[in-house]
Structure 1
């Protein structure tokens, strides 16, 4: 099975993300990503043995408390991803770094170069932007200012089911 680990947005931040993403997709005729508003903690991976991971995440969630994050401004990777910038507090970065350390003890879990400590926290609005559509999407999204003070308050495991990601297990911090 295919899984991803994320912190899901909620409340006003999630509503803003979902509405803007839907507007962009409709206006620019681009495909929507198949995950709800989130920032990624561990990129998609394959396993038939999720129990070990779930046990570790459960223990980790008992030992950690939610930490503040701020969402404001837009950013982009090249011309194929536009995102909402996530500014984690020092406490949120420490939780994330500790989570990565714990996850790296799982021998079968594979890691890509851009994963782990020192990453750019972001919440993708649109990815895989077709050539020629970036500037329009970038200009359009930047019309909508936002500023949300919220929390890194969950570690959620999502599983690929047919043609979408569904929540498999959620751990509250």
Structure 2
């Protein structure tokens, strides 16, 4: 089975992301990504033994608290991905790094060079763009307002089902208060 580990974005930021992604896809005739609003913790991987990961994630979330993130403005990778930029708090980065350290104890999870701790926190709007599509979309989003205070408050395991990613298990951190 194919899985990915993410933090699902919630609240007003989720509503904004969903509306803007739909708007971009309709206005510029591009395909929607197959993941809900999120930032990635571990890129897709294959396993038939998810129980060990479930136990590790549940224990981790039960022993950690939610941490602040700010979604502010937009960014891009190369000329084919446009995203909502996430400013992760020091606490968020520490929590994310600590979870990744735990994940790396699972010998069966493979890691690519660009995965792990030193990532650019982001919430993808559209991907797989051609340069002809990228520039007009970038010009469009560059004129929009995007600012949300939210939380790294969950670790969610999604699995591939037919043609999209669906939530397999969502684990919530303890509240800050």
Normalising by structure 1, we get a TM-score of 0.98
**1:117 Cα offset (Å):** 1.1
Count of paired positions: 173
CA contact (8 A) 2:160 2:166 kept: yes
**1:59 Cα offset (Å):** 0.6
Structure 2, unmatched stretches of 5+, are: none
Are 1:127 and 2:101 matched, yes or no?
A: no
Are 1:81 and 2:85 matched, yes or no?
A: no
User: CA separation in 1, counterparts of 2:86 and 2:50?
Assistant: 28
**1:131 Cα offset (Å):** 3.3
Bigger shift: residues 126-135 or 149-158: 126-135
1:72 is aligned to: 72
Runs of 4+, deviation exceeding 3 Å: none
User: CA separation in 2, counterparts of 1:149 and 1:42?
Assistant: 23
Normalising by structure 2, we get a TM-score of 0.96
**1:151 Cα offset (Å):** 0.3
1:10-21 map, 5 Å: 10-21=10-21
User: CA separation in 1, counterparts of 2:92 and 2:111?
Assistant: 21
Structure 1, unmatched stretches of 5+, are: none
1:62-81 CA distance string (max 9 Å, x none) = 11000000000111000000
User: CA separation in 2, counterparts of 1:114 and 1:46?
Assistant: 18
Q: Secondary structure at the match of 1:123?
A: strand
User: CA separation in 2, counterparts of 1:141 and 1:21?
Assistant: 10
Q: Secondary structure at the match of 2:166?
A: strand
1:49 is aligned to: 49
User: CA separation in 1, counterparts of 2:8 and 2:58?
Assistant: 16
**1:29 Cα offset (Å):** 0.6
1:8-157 map, 5 Å: 8-157=8-157
1:89-122 CA distance string (max 9 Å, x none) = 1100000000110000000000111111111000
**1:130 Cα offset (Å):** 2.2
**1:141 Cα offset (Å):** 1.1
Q: CA RMSD in A?
A: 0.6
User: CA separation in 1, counterparts of 2:125 and 2:48?
Assistant: 30
